[in-house]
Amino acid sequence: MEKVYLFPFIVLLIIRMNEERYNSYSFLLDRTARRVKQYAQQKFKELRLNVTVDQWLVLKHLYENEGMKQNELAELLFKDNPTLTRIIDLLCDKGLTVRNQHPSDRRSYHVALTKEGKRKVEQMKPKIQKIRLKAWEGLSKDDFLQFKKVLDTIYNNLET
C-alpha cells in the first residue's frame, strides 16, 4: 500500500530535480559569459590595449568585413543602436574608425576602420588569441566541439 503512494512522490521529485537542473543552466551561462568578459577586460587593461572588449568586437568585425552598415553591425553584435553609436563615437575619437553616410541609403551610416584601426587590429589579434585560449585550458578539442554543439542547439531552440 505504501508503495502506491510513494510512486507519485518519486515521480514528482524526479521532475522537480530535472526542472532545477535546467533552470540553473541560464545562470551558469550568464555567470560564465560575464567571467570571460571580465577576465578579458582585465587583460586588456593590463596590456594597455586602450580599448574595451565591446570596442574590440566592433574593430574585429569591421576588419573582417571591410566596413559595414551601422545597423547591420548592431544586429551582428546584439547591441542596440544607441549603445553601438556610443562605442563607434569613442572609436572615431581614437582615430580607429570612420563613419560616413551610406552611399546608397541616406538613412544609414557606413562604418569602416581607418589605417590606424587596421594596424590596431593586426597588433591586437595575437594578444586577444592568448587571452581567449586561457578559458580553454585543460579542455580538449572534443570538449570544445561538444560545448559548441550544446550552445548552438540552445541558440537554435530559441530562434524566432
pLDDT 10s digits, 24-65 = 777 888 888 899 999 999 999 999 999 999 999 999 999 999
CATH (domain of 106): 1.10.10.10
Residue 160 is given by DSSP the state -
Q: Looking at the 3D structure of the chain, how many domains does it have?
A: 1
pLDDT 10s digits, 15-25 = 666 666 666 77
Are residues 109 and 85 in contact, defined by beta-carbon separation less than 8 angstroms? no
Are residues 40 and 131 in contact, defined by beta-carbon separation less than 8 angstroms? yes
Confidence class for position 108, pLDDT limits 50, 70, 90: confident
What whole-number percentage of the chain has pLDDT above 70? Answer: 85
Are residues 49 and 127 in contact, defined by beta-carbon separation less than 8 angstroms? yes
Strand partners, 111: 68, 99
Q: Which domain holds residue 87?
A: 2-157
Nearest residue to 82 via CA among 93, 69, 70, 96: 70
pTM higher than 0.75 for the full model?
yes
Alpha helical stretches, state H, 95-158? 115-134, 141-157
